[in-house]
Amino acid sequence: MDHVISGVSKFQREVYPEKKDRFQKLAKGQNPEVLFITCADSRIDPSMVTQTEPGELFICRNAGNIVPPHSNYTGGTTASIEFAVAALGVSHIVVCGHSDCGAMKGAIAPENLDDLPHVKEWLSHSRAAREVVKERHGHVCKDHLDEVTKENVLLQLQHLRTHPAVAAKIATGKVTLHGWVYNIETGGIDAFNAQTGDFSPLDEEQQAALVGG
């Protein structure tokens, strides 16, 4: 914890003065372009990975970068999505999974989560991703982790489309969806390519292949 407290001091002493104008502007409101939904895993830093500044990403994090399908039940993820899309007017939504995801390991073997009942229930929102991989291979195991991770990203994009605010903006071309998987070891990102129906390395020239509505 000491290094965390030291970090605050360093931020106030060195970082804040250099970005004072930006922070003073942000103090009056925010106008992010992107809603970034990713895993709560401590190894993922969306702002570092995307090299964005404060105010550019509206970040929503939870175990497994999950988007529950829309329902009458109000949860933190659902409320955050609605606020980002309907109130802040973001124009892009990224669902970003990652390599070596503990949540996806749990989704593959839910029988190992009996002592974590809330985690087990939460990961039921990933069950269809597991079943897709199981159907494809006849079984599913830890060797399929990367495949399940990608299928989970696609599943959560489907879930996003059930949210009224998102559906409305997609229908009018005001919101674009993106599915990413971040590789912790290499720093690479694979993005879902709507033209090929597969994931491929993200680069600056790939813009035309991003997932649409």
Which residues are part of a known binding site for Zn(2+)? 39, 41, 98, 101
Residues listed for the chain:
213
* Cβ pair 94, 50 in contact under 8 A: no
Instruction: Encode burial over 58-67: b for 16+ CB neighbours within 10 A, e otherwise.
Output: bbbbbbbbbb
Q: Which residues participate in the annotated binding site?
A: 39, 41, 98, 101
Could you identify the residue written with the tokens 């070891």? 185
| Pair of tokens at residue 142 | 């830890």
- Residue 180 makes CB contacts below 8 A (sequence gap 6+) with 94, 95, 96, 97, 153, 189, 190, 191, 192, 202
